[in-house]
Chain A
């Protein structure tokens, strides 16, 4: 069947189906008697084969057919499911993906060779089960040969009981016979019962048709194709003179063939699908437009706020309406971009399955919080870092089964990938119950690589942070799994690029936990606008905990002991005017905005708190990207630019009261 659009839809659908098959195979790998999984695998393969053949993916359909045949036998109980079979079909799924992707190119010799190898593996997996027959070549049923074509046919037929209830319309059959040639139709009502025994859905009639056309027996039988084996049908070839042989009984006139053109005026059809696939670029475009709208709206609000004459009051009312509408539109658009984390987690099951094979370790993957929804961009960009963290856990974190048992743990190592929403952020965790990070080894390695001095005084957190240093790797040897040149520094960069932070918790012998704190959405951020000297800055509202007046005695002692007593708790603070080298004298009543993330808190001393604003984040240019204190810039309602403070960097720059406060300039952390 043609139709480029449908074929495109099939490409997406095939990807989904292969995901579904893969998930079901992994379920089956865990429990070889899982009926639901077997059915699911079969159904997926069946659809891929059927639809693939429809849209010209002949190689795909042919290849998938073999896998489907294997699973059909499993489904019917003719062969048992085995781990080898699960393996073979999982590998076959990868091949199918390639066949979908390269449908336009002819198969390369390597491709067809690998296809053959996969099928051989499949045959091996299926061998040993009873009646393991090679795939049967399908042959079309051959109709009995017919010698010579007569000039016409005497056709006598009677429908099977119940045929009409099952949708067979005798008038349609007569119509089709008429399309073969001129017909004389006589009705046989000899079997019509008395009225009290008459069932309206039964067909009691028989027909005698004389078809005056030189057609083959198969052509006539083809008319009755769907009921051929249950109906009464007698076909007698007619000679040129046999046309007037039968006595007339009653005449039924089937309507003349209606020309097709009359039916071509189809009314427009309403689509009734519950979900629609949208290209990601269109969503991005929509988000951009909404972002611009939000900016335009805040300019409008500023204009409307001026003046008290009647027009200004009316303008304010309109502005408020548009404000409400645009923030609703923003929320709706944002919701469109949200996807459940489960989409991402699903892919890791296969990864862990393969890693377990390669490392020879027993590994169980536990996923939690699949329903947690995150912006699509976050999900897309998180995919690879999470792969790296999971690889790390499988490769370095988890011990071999023997080591685990010796340490008094269960033989199967566990990797937990979870997501949870907490306020304006999502926390994604990759945890293992393995051997934990060996601080001494990390330290020794860092010294060997010249990253730190041999006698450097580092606390536990700082030692762990070393693994994020570019090029750092503690693996004694680079393995196929972890040593791909992608280090933890890339993971950290990606997370920070998403305005997130990454934290490590690790206990020797107990395991390691990597916690990624990420914003829910990237495009629009609710910010608090502040003024420092002449400049205006935006602080993401999700990080703001509270705002205080800077006590007079602290305001005076610039450069002194920079801690603030907030209800008995010591909070370090940073004088933004100093950091930004503002040449204006500090204002009399300075404010402190306390920002925090997790356990860390820091006060930012500013001159004025202007208020809240919705900001559309624009990345800094390449030249400014290295300026660590800022995560981006935004355009304010009046058209001026405000820089957005990078709270994570500021937190890192501030001394924390848990250890001796030492003055560290911002530049060090940037």
Chain B
């Protein structure tokens, strides 16, 4: 069975690109448009990996990650965040919030798939 990935991003074009790259690599992709939608989809479904942007309206990625980690049912689910910051402080914040890994924008399909494989182990 292919792994299910939830991608949370307010940019429809980015979601589209992520979907294209990951479904091309055999993953099943679900989209959410912001942190609120991401949180509700993550907790109502079962995902093997969550890929999220940090800067989003309504609920930002950091808050969503914290909320997810407060939920015991979401412990252990890998969360990868997308960032353009070379700023280590943002990375440290996101990891303290409970993120598993990150990917620096811009990235290409191969880099995205590589990170997904890395955290999923498959």
Residues on A lying within 8 angstroms of B by beta carbon are 1-3, 5-7, 9-10, 13, 42-43, 46-47, 49-51, 53-55, 61, 138, 164-169, 171-173, 175-176, 201, 223, 225-226, 230, 258, 260, 263-267, 269, 271-274
A166 near B26: Cβ-Cβ < 8 Å: no
Q: How far is the CB of B76 from chain A (nearest CB, A)?
A: 6
A-facing residues in B1-32 (Cβ within 8 Å): 2-3, 10-14, 16-17, 19-21, 23, 25-31
A3 near B16: Cβ-Cβ < 8 Å: yes
Question: Residue among B57, B109, B122 with the most chain A CB within 10 A?
Answer: B122
B23 near A3: Cβ-Cβ < 8 Å: no
A50 near B106: Cβ-Cβ < 8 Å: yes
Which residues of B lie under 8 Å from residue A43 when comparing CB positions? 55-57
Given contacts A166-B99, A167-B76, A168-B78, contact A267 B28 (CB under 8 A): yes
15 contacts between A and B (CB under 8 A): A1-B17, A1-B108, A6-B14, A6-B20, A166-B69, A166-B79, A167-B100, A225-B118, A258-B122, A263-B2, A263-B3, A263-B27, A266-B27, A267-B2, A271-B31
Number of interface residues of B (CB under 8 A): 51
Which residues of B lie under 8 Å from residue A173 when comparing CB positions? 121
Please, how many angstroms separate the alpha-carbon atoms of A146 and B41 in the complex? 45
Q: Contacts A43-B56, A54-B106 given; 15 further ones with Cβ under 8 A?
A: A1-B108, A7-B13, A43-B55, A51-B13, A54-B105, A55-B13, A165-B75, A166-B69, A169-B119, A172-B121, A176-B121, A225-B118, A226-B119, A266-B2, A272-B31
B10 near A47: Cβ-Cβ < 8 Å: yes
Which residues of A lie under 8 Å from residue B119 when comparing CB positions? 167-169, 172, 226
Encode B45-86 as 1/0 by CB contact (under 8 A) with A: 000000000011100000000000100000111110010101
B26 near A265: Cβ-Cβ < 8 Å: yes
- The answer, among A6, A168, A175, A226, for a CB contact under 8 Å with B17, is A6
Q: How far is the CB of A462 from chain B (nearest CB, A)?
A: 53
Answer yes or no: B98 CB below 8 A from chain A CBs. yes
Nearest B residue to A61 by beta-carbon distance?
B106
B84 near A265: Cβ-Cβ < 8 Å: no
Q: How far is the CB of B63 from chain A (nearest CB, A)?
A: 13
A266 near B26: Cβ-Cβ < 8 Å: yes
Which residues of B lie under 8 Å from residue A201 when comparing CB positions? 75-76
Q: How far is the CB of B108 from chain A (nearest CB, A)?
A: 5
- The answer, among B25, B105, B122, for a CB contact under 8 Å with A50, is B105
Question: Residue among A10, A50, A138, A175 with the most chain B CB within 10 A?
Answer: A50
B13 near A6: Cβ-Cβ < 8 Å: yes
B121 near A175: Cβ-Cβ < 8 Å: yes
Which residues of B lie under 8 Å from residue A7 when comparing CB positions? 13
Which residues of B lie under 8 Å from residue A168 when comparing CB positions? 78, 100, 119
Which residues of B lie under 8 Å from residue A258 when comparing CB positions? 122
Q: How far is the CB of A153 from chain B (nearest CB, A)?
A: 19
Please, how many angstroms separate the alpha-carbon atoms of A265 and B13 in the complex? 24
Which residues of B lie under 8 Å from residue A223 when comparing CB positions? 118
